[in-house]
Amino acid sequence: MSEDAEQPETVRTRPWRGRTVSLTPIEPDDAELVQHWRADPVAAHEIGIWPGSLHELRERIERWTDDRSRDDFLVLLPDGTPAGHVALFDEDIADGTAAAYLLLAPEHRGRGHAVDALAALTDLAFGELPMQRVEAVTHTDNDAALAVLAAAGFVQEGVRRSACLHRGRRYDSALLSLLREEWEAQTRPRSWEHV
């Protein structure tokens, strides 16, 4: 038996739940997985990721874990399979504002996991943290992200023209937000009601 085979598999805690998925805090050892997801051409295009070393990403995740202005999570499927990365970042407790980040592995897209994970993330922002507003920015032609954000209750506020550059072309970005009162009006079960 190899040394690796003798190691017990690490069991991730699931401190925050969605309807189907759950969220577990991201760790520096997740860097390789996150690097793999970020290399997906759709993610690289939509989020604006350019190639970087695994070492640099690991150091960045180490900084995230110390950073009080962000909360990063792996999205776990019911069997524990990591399926993506979601985060609240730019958390400003004084103004009650934060931004949402969302990335699912290509093989786990199209099954409702993103809406579930984003709903859980907004439950954290408004039910546990004192946020008044969570915003999200995405390319105006990112139909998947716009559909997910709309399904989670986000409202489009406007368009930031020529906001980013990718492969020599400039793209417009849509700015969306979910306010506390809109989250309060949602009738779906909250994260803490899922067992």
Site residues, ligand COA (CB under 6 A): 42-43, 46-47, 102-104, 109-115, 136, 138, 142-145, 147-148, 151
Q: How many angstroms separate the CA atoms of 171 and 182, rounded?
A: 29
Least distance in Å: CB of 178 to ligand COA? 13
Strands 71-76 and 97-104: unpaired
Least distance in Å: CB of 52 to ligand COA? 17
> Helix 143-151 vs helix 113-127: angle between axes, to the nearest 10 degrees?
50
What residues contact residue 37 under an 8 Å CB cut-off, 6+ apart?
43, 84, 85, 103, 104, 105
Least distance in Å: CB of 11 to ligand COA? 25
Least distance in Å: CB of 1 to ligand COA? 38
User: What would the two tokens of residue 160 be?
Assistant: 């930031």
Taking the least distance from each CB to ligand COA, the nearer of 62 and 172 is 172
E strand or H helix at 159: strand 155-166
Taking the least distance from each CB to ligand COA, the nearer of 21 and 61 is 21
Taking the least distance from each CB to ligand COA, the nearer of 8 and 105 is 105
Taking the least distance from each CB to ligand COA, the nearer of 138 and 177 is 138
User: What is the CB neighbour count within 10 angstroms for residue 154?
Assistant: 25
